[in-house]
Amino acid sequence: MDAKTQKSELTRAAIVGAAMNLALAEGLEAITLQAVASKLGLSKSGVFSRVGSREALQKAVIEEYGRGFLADVFVPAMQKPKGLPRLNDIVGRWIARMRDVEMYTGCLYTAGAFEFDDREGELREMLLGEITRWRAALRRTVLQAIETGELKPDTDPAQLVSEINGLTMTQLHDARFLRDPQAADRATQTWQRLLSSYLA
């Protein structure tokens, strides 16, 4: 990669990063080319030349957030055996990410779901697709734990996925709004109690 290309890619990464920070602080709709340009000391046309339209930048933010989320939570857990070890690792990593990242930045998935719950359009569909894919992957992991005989055979995967999502949303609420320093510990205890009710 030549120096010019490398610089261009680093600038694009900085643009997406600045837009991400804006989205986490104020919502996806707060992203504008001018706002990002001002944060980075670039021209609006300089931002446009690297990312395209405002909507393209919003989509790039959703994609980047999704990559980071999967890299922290899901991908490392794939090294664990199928079944309960993998499911336990995913939930543990999700709670840890909420404690170490989203507690300070907010969660784009959670905030975005509220921001776009009553809107239509490509951004809503993209955000929905990201969240749906993540929850489908979690559901597959639950199914594998049923197949290995570690969870009760009558376990409803959709119900368990919903409950796991609920405990992480509660953790985020308590950590950020209530400023409860024990939020992650409470989420871990909730998961252990929840899991015990599903064990075979």
What is the pLDDT, as a whole number, of residue 32? 87
Domain boundary assignment for the chain: 61-196
Top CATH class, 61-196 = mainly alpha
Q: Among residues 4, 5, 42, 8, which one has the least CA distance to residue 19? A: 42
DSSP letter at 179 equals -
Model's pTM, two decimal places? 0.88
What is the pLDDT, as a whole number, of residue 5? 60
Mean pLDDT by 10 residues, the chain (200 residues): 63 87 89 87 82 88 92 94 96 96 90 87 91 93 97 97 96 95 97 96
